[in-house]
A and B are shown apart, each in its own frame.
Chain A
């Protein structure tokens, strides 16, 4: 049997979830034995080169490019996992959800206390730049997500255990602390 193939991406996240994945330390060698990585910032593969078994998504969906990437993942991965608070709920970036987009952009580029050298009062708008969505969406509101892995970030152990369980088909025991309310 060929090795299962994994892809990962960070959408509107802080890369903390990826850092947590790297925190599995030397077990990364075991993981490398178990799986093959495809598109991922970890190996810098930019485009899917084959169909994958598992896609790990960090971060929610805040702009048009995120939508594109997420849909690409959905098409190319058998199982999609929302990893971490941002992917599951929108997380910190979603704090802007109650503020109209225009106000957010004006605060960021025109009126914020740290704005300098923008005499022409320009809000960046290059064709190359993705368009910002009206709010930050959790991934499962944009595509079907199969598994949610809670935490901010989920601990290295949990990510590792989850991956191993997925690959080996063993049941994953999520500790109560990982999903208790408040």
Chain B
């Protein structure tokens, strides 16, 4: 064991900033990160024990106790539940004879819930020993457990044919489907790899930034910051080295379009990263890829290798002297907050993914304290097409404030869940027509849990930065759903789980709101609970990052758009109810003492 750990550490040159890679490799090869392994790591990297432990404990996919020989990570986010995750989980538990959240006594099987794995258009889905299983049914669950009991390889457990497009590539071989329903210029297969690079070597970095500015493209990761401006800041920031990060963390439940871009158009992304490198003067690019997408690793590594061979990465790109740029993949290990750009940088430096205080912004002091650009997969891919066709061309799509197209992830109660590339300026109704609804639509969740839940009277609103901004996910919620219980509570559990805990309001108030919601769902709520939830919302503005600033949105936006759902569930005859239940508070005590009354 010690030798294995030592050789893994040596592979990363005993570099403490590569702690994430070291931990991932140890976890993958040994099945867990043992106390002895931690000893070796802390000795070789000259870190204290707790420094290593605090990083390990931050991430969902690391474990300090042995996991199973097989491990099932079943997504239990809202849409997974809409598609029948609970039934599948029940069969898993019955057949396996063990529970979710634990490893079976014989050490064979671990089963765990996990938040959205980026497969909302093909739920229920799970990751089993690194491979993605989609569209699970009770029948499939039974088969899988019996295969596990028979000791089959995970590869042998696939029964369906591989997914469309590159999903069936030799290096992926996955049942995941792309579900591309509408193609636009960013998803389009047209445009030869390298054409944009051949163009930029004749331009100066400033000319490139001007072109990006002219296009008026804004970041596609959610915050919508103007990309050209970000690049200009980074170009101007002093620093001997600079870095380009591609944010492929895609952790917002309901979002999966980056997965499809990475699967089908990875070269367009690599090209965009190299363009960014040329424009700001960076020679290193890092794709921060969520661990859930590890099944794409070999494939993407190969695309990167091919790009080097074609001289689109590496030294003197396109024979341009001094145009050096290379890319590596950095995996996360399961933490939504790592999608936040400064947390992402912390994580890539081998630490807990806790957001930094800003300023300074990453463009001034980012990765290893050097000027750093963090851009979303779609943003960088779009830049390639902007260079290919011109900023003016890009502006011809969309609206004045929201130029170009948006790749949407649509899921939930609709006929055709999947990926749609549409021009900005569509209304929610237009999208609903496109995706085909099933019966009445009660609500649409725009932009994931951190976004907004809107009611039918808002369906004619326009998607764009002027009105309904979105990182690109739409979840359609049918009339048959219990909006507060099935969706809002699930989203609140998600934020409670994913808060990094640094800021008191984020850490505590999200729990308090979640518990108030539970109390209301139990029928113990009163008007004062609604008033409190409305009044206390401003406290969250004091949080350090976007997670905390939006963590109450599931409740606040439904409180505004669906007040009747809350009002129907509160007690009208009471002005106060603390919600305390003495019987459940004493349940354990009765059991332990054998007493029956108090």
Contact = CB atoms under 8 A, between A and B. Distances in A.
B592 to A, nearest CB: 6
Contacts of A144: 576, 578
A107 to B, nearest CB: 13
Nearest to A140: B578
Interface in B51-104: none
A5 B555 CA distance: 42
Chain B interface mostly helix, strand, loop or mixed?
helix
Interface residues of A, number: 23
Interface string B580-596: 10101111111011110
A134 B587 contact: yes
Interface string A83-106: 000000000000000001110010
Contact of B505 (A127, A132, A181): A181
B598 A64 contact: yes
B595 A143 contact: no
B589 A101 contact: yes
A137 B580 CA distance: 9
Given A64-B598, A101-B592, A131-B595, A181 B586 contact: no
B586 A182 contact: no
Tell me which of A67, A100, A130, A181 has the highest count of chain B C-beta atoms within 10 A of its own C-beta: A181
Contacts of A182: 504
Contacts of A132: 589
Nearest to A101: B588
Contacts of A64: 582, 586, 589, 598
B588 A102 contact: yes
Interface in B546-598: 576, 578-580, 582, 584-590, 592-595, 598
Contacts of B542: 181
A125 interface: yes
A141 B589 CA distance: 19
A133 interface: yes
A140 B529 CA distance: 13
4 pairs of A and B residues whose beta carbons are closest in the complex = A181-B504, A64-B598, A131-B589, A101-B588
6 contacts: A64-B589, A102-B592, A131-B593, A140-B578, A141-B579, A144-B578
Interface of A: 64, 67, 100-102, 105, 123, 125, 127, 130-135, 137, 140-144, 181-182
Given A133-B585, A134-B584, A144-B578, 16 more contacts: A64-B586, A64-B589, A67-B582, A101-B589, A102-B588, A125-B593, A125-B594, A130-B598, A131-B590, A133-B586, A134-B585, A134-B589, A141-B578, A142-B578, A143-B578, A144-B576
Interface of B: 503-505, 542, 576, 578-580, 582, 584-590, 592-595, 598
